[in-house]
Amino acid sequence: MDGKGSGPIERTADDILSMRVRGAGRIGRAASRALGELASDYDRGNLGNLSYDLMEAASALLSTRPTAVSLRNAIILTLSGMVSLDDPEELREDVFKRSRDFVSHSEDFVSIIGRKGAALIPDDATVLTHCNSSAALSAIYEGFRLGKVRRVINTETRPWRQGHITSRWLARNGVPVTMIVDSAVNHIMKDVDIVMVGADTITRCGDLINKIGTSQIALSAGENSVSFHTCAETYKFSPTAYAGADVTIEDRGPEEVADPLKVEDMEGVDLRNPVFDVTPARFIDSMITERGPISQEEIGILMDEIFPHGLIDHFSWL
């Protein structure tokens, strides 16, 4: 990039890479916002490189985290005017407007999912959640407001311990919360009435890719006849990945697993840090979106609606 407007892109890419900005919805919004800022701050007297700079910015943002399709979808939906607009000034305005709309709609979706998700929570429920999902928490808060949630059990969520954030948020909002280590899930499942988690990606066949450990929770829920639900805005569905095996799982550094000061003491140990896993569709009772629960059969129709014919092909360079 030529320096014009490269600030918001580099800052946002760095924030996402370092996990200062995290959570599938938030990274999608941050990327869309950064593209909007790049467009709105662009030198209007010199728009010749706008398309090129937007493409470079899109690639830089996408390279930060490979698993959450929210990031790719947010970028494509923000830049979709590139398919038809030749006039750079029109494109500049279009990107800015689409970015503003994406951010505000995606925030609204979280509240709507809260209402739709709460409807599935039984009375006097103990809800188990994992990691830190705004969408799942929205449903839990609404369920609590309606008097349906008695207690939340949430996992610590190694290695980043995003569960600590979840526990703090719930406690500050007056929701009774118990935090457990990840390996206590199966032991405690007998006390749980419903599981609600977020989503980083949902594939066309309904496989869920979410924070590492989610699939074990789903297995345990299934074994204990506890219903398992994922809360996900529709832009977390992948228009291209058919099954979980088609999604790249992000591997992060070994220092996140072992004490960074002691990584050298682990010589000879193969430290691996996959941060997401795949929960097969058959373990999932419902996928709660802003349009309500959607079935596996409806995913394809939804994708064709959100990504009209040719849009994804147009972004094959991404």
Question: Which residues are near ligand RI2 by CB under 6 A?
Answer: 22-25, 131, 133-135, 162, 197-200, 210-211, 275
Q: Which is nearer to ligand RI2, 33 or 211 (by Cβ)?
A: 211
Whole-number Cα distances in Å, 252 to 68, 122, 274: 14, 37, 6
Least separation in angstroms between residue 200's CB and ligand RI2 is 5
Residue 310 falls in which region: left (phi positive, over 0), alpha (psi -120 to 50) or beta: left
* CA-derived radius of gyration, the chain: 20
Q: How many CB atoms lie within 10 A of CB 54?
A: 25
Buried b (16+ CB within 10 A) or exposed e, 97-134: ebbeebbeebeebbebbbbbbbebbeeebbbbbbbbbb
Known active-site residue 200: yes
Q: Which is nearer to ligand RI2, 5 or 23 (by Cβ)?
A: 23
Least separation in angstroms between residue 210's CB and ligand RI2 is 5
Q: Which is nearer to ligand RI2, 60 or 231 (by Cβ)?
A: 231
Least separation in angstroms between residue 127's CB and ligand RI2 is 14
| CA 212/CA 152 separation, integer angstroms | 20
Residue 252 falls in which region: left (phi positive, over 0), alpha (psi -120 to 50) or beta: beta
Residue of 53, 94, 131, 231 marked active site: 131
Q: Which of 112, 183, 136 is nearest to 127 (CA)?
A: 136
Residue of 193, 200, 207, 231 marked active site: 200
Q: Which is nearer to ligand RI2, 18 or 84 (by Cβ)?
A: 18
**Strand 201-202 to 194-197 pairing:** unpaired
| CA 221/CA 200 separation, integer angstroms | 20
Q: Which is nearer to ligand RI2, 126 or 155 (by Cβ)?
A: 155
Least separation in angstroms between residue 108's CB and ligand RI2 is 14
Least separation in angstroms between residue 180's CB and ligand RI2 is 17
Residues involved in catalysis: 131, 200
